[in-house]
Amino acid sequence: MSANGLLLVFGLVTSTLAARLLGPQGRGELAAVQNLVGLVSVLALIGLPDAVTYMTSKEQNASGELLVTAVLISGAVAVALVLLAIFFIPILLGSQRESILDIGRYYLLSVFIYSVAGLPYNSLQGSLKMNVWNMLKMVSPTLWLGTLVLSWLSSPSFPIPAEYVLRLHLIALMLYPLVVLPITKRFISGPYRFSTRAARQLTRYGLPSFLSVALQQLKLRLDQLLMAVFLPPRVLGLYAVSVAWSAIAPLIINAIGQVALPSIANVKASQDRKVVSKMMRGSVIVACILTTTWGFVTPLVFLRLMGEQFREALGILVLLIPAAGVTAMNSVASQILKGLGRPKDAMFVEMAGLAATFILLAVLLVPYQLVGASWASLISCLVSFAFALHRIARATSLSMSELLIPRLSDWASLKGLMFRVFRIRGSNY
Domain ranges across the chain: 3-422
Mean pLDDT of 185-200: 88
Per-residue three-class SS string for the chain = CCHHHHHHHHHHHHHHHHHHHHHHHHHHHHHHHHHHHHHHHHHHCCCHHHHHHHHHHHCHHHHHHHHHHHHHHHHHHHHHHHHHHHHHHHHHCCCCCHHHHHHHHHHCCHHHHHHHHHHHHHHHHHCCCHHHHHHHCCHHHHHHHHHHHHHHHHCCCCCCCHHHHHHHHHHHHCCHHHHHHHHHHHHCCCCCCCCHHHHHHHHHHHHHHHHHHHHHHHHHHHHHHHHHHHCCHHHHHHHHHHHHHHCCCCHHHHHHHHHHHHHHHHCCHHHHHHHHHHHHHHHHHHHHHHHHHHHHHHHHHHHHHHCHHHHHHHCCHHHHHHHHHHHHHHHHHHHHHHHCCCHHHHHHHHHHHHHHHHHHHHHHHHHHHHHHHHHHHHHHHHHHHHHHHHHHHHHHCCCHHHHHCCCHHHHHHHHHHHHHHHCCCCCCC
Candidate from 8-17, 90-99, 211-220, 412-421 with smallest mean pLDDT: 412-421
Nearest to 75 by CA among 101, 51, 46, 96: 46
Is omega for the bond preceding 191 within 30 degrees of 0, making it cis?
Answer: yes
pLDDT confidence tier of residue 416, bands split at 50, 70 and 90: low
Calculate what percentage of the chain has a pLDDT beyond 90: 56
- Tens of pLDDT, residue by residue over 161-174, are 999 999 999 999 99
* Phi/psi-derived region of residue 99, left when phi > 0, alpha when psi is between -120 and 50, beta in every other case: alpha
| Summary mean pLDDT of the chain | 87
309 phi/psi in degrees, rounded to 5: -65, -10
User: Exposed e or buried b for every residue in 65-87, given b needs 16+ CB within 10 A?
Assistant: bbbbbbbebbeebbeebbeebee
* pLDDT for 270 beyond 60: no
User: Exposed e or buried b for every residue in 189-214, given b needs 16+ CB within 10 A?
Assistant: eeeeeebeebbebbbebbbbbbbbbb
* pLDDT for 3 beyond 80: no
Candidate from 22-36, 54-68, 103-117, 357-371 with smallest mean pLDDT: 54-68
Instruction: Give pTM, 2 decimals.
Output: 0.83
The confidence score (pLDDT) of residue 256 equals: 65
Count of other CB atoms within 10 angstroms of residue 304: 9
Mean pLDDT of 369-391: 94
pLDDT confidence tier of residue 424, bands split at 50, 70 and 90: very low
* Phi/psi-derived region of residue 97, left when phi > 0, alpha when psi is between -120 and 50, beta in every other case: beta
* pLDDT for 268 beyond 80: no
- Tens of pLDDT, residue by residue over 304-343, are 999 999 999 999 999 999 999 999 899 888 888 887 878 7
